[in-house]
Amino acid sequence: MSYTAPLNDMLFDIRHLAGIDEIAKMPGFEEAGFDTAQAVLEECAKFNEGVVAPLNVEGDRNPSRWKDGNVITTPGFKEAFRQYADGGWQGLQHPQACGGQGLPKTIGAACGEMLNSANMSFALCPLLTDGAIEALLTAGSDDLKAVYLENLVSGKWTGTMNLTEPQAGSDLALVRTRAEPQPDGSYKVFGTKIFITYGDHDMAENIVHLVLARVTGAPEGVKGISLFVVPKFMVGKDGSVGSRNDVHCVSIEHKLGIKASPTAVLQFGDHGGAAGYLVGHENRGLEYMFIMMNAARYAVGVQGIAIAERAYQQAVAYAKDRIQSRPVDGSMNASAPIIHHPDVKRMLMTMRAYTEGCRAMATVAAAAYDASHHHPDAEVRKQNQSFYEFMVPLVKGYSTEMSLEVTSLGVQVHGGMGFIEETGAAQYYRDAKILTIYEGTTAIQANDLVGRKTARDGGRTAKGIAAQIARTEAELARQGSVPARAVQKRLAAARQAFIDVVDFVAGQSKASPNAVFAGSVPYLMLAGNLMAGWQLARSLLVAEELFAKGEDTRFMQAKIVTARFYADHILGKAPGMRDAIVEGADSVTALPLEAF
């Protein structure tokens, strides 16, 4: 099944929801207006449709393999990655000072979606490299930056994130990997790390591991964790690659999905200690790692949108082709393509609305990130930072949970053929499952939303966003069309449900933590549902205006219908979710443990 990048929808969001021409007025982004966005996205689409997407099925059927301590990737991956790096795609949104192009996240996120739609297993390598670059930019010494950044940004080298150990998953207080200081200022690192994405491979000349470890004598718990650069091959002061460091891949995992992405078990220090170099200050590793994790969490949310888009495209193609049964309205006397059947249309519209809603939400979040870093007004930067931080667990949590529903519907549209690997529909379903787990499960995103993003400021940020949504409702009322009024009704009810939950979370998180956290994931899903629905409501306002002017009427009409569908069929669930959160905690916690 081929892939066609949804450029019209991406560019609509970038122009009308994210306001790319306003972003281009900010210092450092002067050349990054709509024309630039369009040119970059069109070039990115060509590369991903022509080079990366054809390798997707091959990666699933002929995944990475481990042999004699080395990982060999899927045939074609190495060559495609070299083209990716040579095209400058790794450095798209990294600073020009270290060889990047310095483009806004708003453009970079759309390119990231295309890469992940084309081939999610392949895309994981640059995703982790982006995180390593962010951590070094933020906390790395000038020496570390000089040695590592340019080669990471160019794609000549790749990066990894090493958190998890056999006994330490999400609870990083249990990390046991240790680092012993050496007289020359370096460290020797000893320990085992698991679930390391692209922890070993043959696509680049070096791999730069960012590793959490405890310096000898450090405090117990998370306060005693430091972050280290541990290269696969030692690097000379002139940047040349030298002898092998004492870090080795001892196996790779056999997985449900993303099979072409090698998930490594790495052993550090079996032969005297792996040379490591401190990032920033000792005992502040978790702080630095969160920089990587926040970048990666947003990117994983985009992966959810990407895999949903790919599943939707395949389902539509199949539904137009598969002949089965006469339409129920008698419009045809013979069996017809299944897209004529109302329930198939319902499934396809659900897939489309979820995907477009989450894409709009993620694009607006990316624009806030850009403003938080580049806007000349400090207060505006601060407001956008708060908005972006609130949105990250929603982009990650809601978009990935959404992708499971969408890829499952994709299998359902195919019927029995969806259960057969030959069609490819099942691969998207299998690949999507990991998205709700890695870089922090949905529950961890929900804990973040409850604790750091809602309870900490008494719901102030959440209610500020709700006030912006109310202004959109007022615009819908002024517009006055039938679709606008229908969306306004659903949006107002969902916003009120959200406010009720925010009050409950902020008011009860200390007094009744079990009650609040029993509804933490439903709260995240309600909030994500509302934010995606809000952006589609904004889309409807723009689309109706442009439709009236005769601009791309077919696209605008589809956008209006999709926004209306989302409001009627998805956003309309919010009040019931509110009741489950605010009134349903007792039934979550009431059953004694021994009764399970």
pLDDT (tens digit per residue) in 350-364: 999 999 999 999 999
Residue 204 — φ and ψ, nearest 5°? -140, 160
Q: What is the pLDDT of residue 290?
A: 86
Q: What percent of the chain has pLDDT above 90?
A: 97
With contact defined as beta carbons under 8 Å apart, do 526 and 394 qualify? no
Determine the residue type at 217.
G
Tokens of 346: 């319902």
With contact defined as beta carbons under 8 Å apart, do 353 and 569 qualify? yes
Catalytic residue among 439, 544, 551, 583: 439
Answer whether residue 293 shows pLDDT above 90: no
How much is the average pLDDT of 391-407? Answer: 98
Q: What is the pLDDT of residue 1?
A: 76
With contact defined as beta carbons under 8 Å apart, do 505 and 454 qualify? yes
- Rounded Cα gap, residues 67 and 451, in angstroms: 45
Tokens of 356: 């477009």
Residue 54 — φ and ψ, nearest 5°? -65, -15
Q: What is the pLDDT of residue 567?
A: 98
Q: State the fold for domain 157-283.
A: Butyryl-CoA Dehydrogenase, subunit A; domain 2 (2.40.110)
Architecture of 7-140 per CATH? Answer: Orthogonal Bundle (1.10)
Q: Is 211 helix (H, G, I), strand (E, B) or coil?
A: strand
**Nearest C-alpha neighbor of 144 from the set 208, 79, 67, 53:** 208
Question: CB atoms < 10 A from the CB of 588, how many?
Answer: 14
- Rounded Cα gap, residues 151 and 22, in angstroms: 32
Q: What is the pLDDT of residue 169?
A: 87
Averaged confidence pLDDT in the chain: 97
Return the percent helix, strand and coil in the chain, to nearest 5: 65, 10, 25
CA atoms within 13 A on the CB side of 11: 19
Residue with the two structure tokens 């040379």:
275
pLDDT (tens digit per residue) in 356-385: 999 999 999 999 999 999 999 999 999 999
pLDDT (tens digit per residue) in 6-44: 999 999 999 999 999 999 999 999 999 999 999 999 999
pLDDT band at 291 (very low <50, low <70, confident <90, very high): confident
Residue with the two structure tokens 């200081």:
181
Q: Where are the domains of the chain?
A: 7-140, 157-283, 441-589
Q: H or E stretch including 276?
A: strand 274-278
Q: What is the pLDDT of residue 425?
A: 98
- Rounded Cα gap, residues 343 and 311, in angstroms: 17
Q: What is the pLDDT of residue 224?
A: 97
Q: What is the pLDDT of residue 237?
A: 81
How much is the average pLDDT of 525-553? Answer: 98
Answer whether residue 472 shows pLDDT above 90: yes
Active site residue 475: no
Instruction: Tell me which long-range contacts 11-15 makes (C-beta under 8 A, separation of at least 24).
Output: 11/37, 11/38, 11/41, 12/539, 12/542, 12/555, 12/559, 13/359, 13/360, 13/363, 13/364, 13/535, 13/539, 14/106, 14/107, 14/110, 14/363
Q: H or E stretch including 277?
A: strand 274-278
Q: Is 395 helix (H, G, I), strand (E, B) or coil?
A: helix
With contact defined as beta carbons under 8 Å apart, do 393 and 453 qualify? yes
CA atoms within 13 A on the CB side of 206: 27
**Nearest C-alpha neighbor of 374 from the set 594, 104, 592:** 104
pLDDT band at 498 (very low <50, low <70, confident <90, very high): very high
* Residue 238 vs residue 471, higher pLDDT: 471
With contact defined as beta carbons under 8 Å apart, do 400 and 432 qualify? yes
- Rounded Cα gap, residues 423 and 409, in angstroms: 14
With contact defined as beta carbons under 8 Å apart, do 153 and 101 qualify? no
Beta partners for residue 228, in sequence order:
211, 278
- The angle formed by the CA atoms of residues 20, 21 and 22, to the nearest 5 degrees, is 90
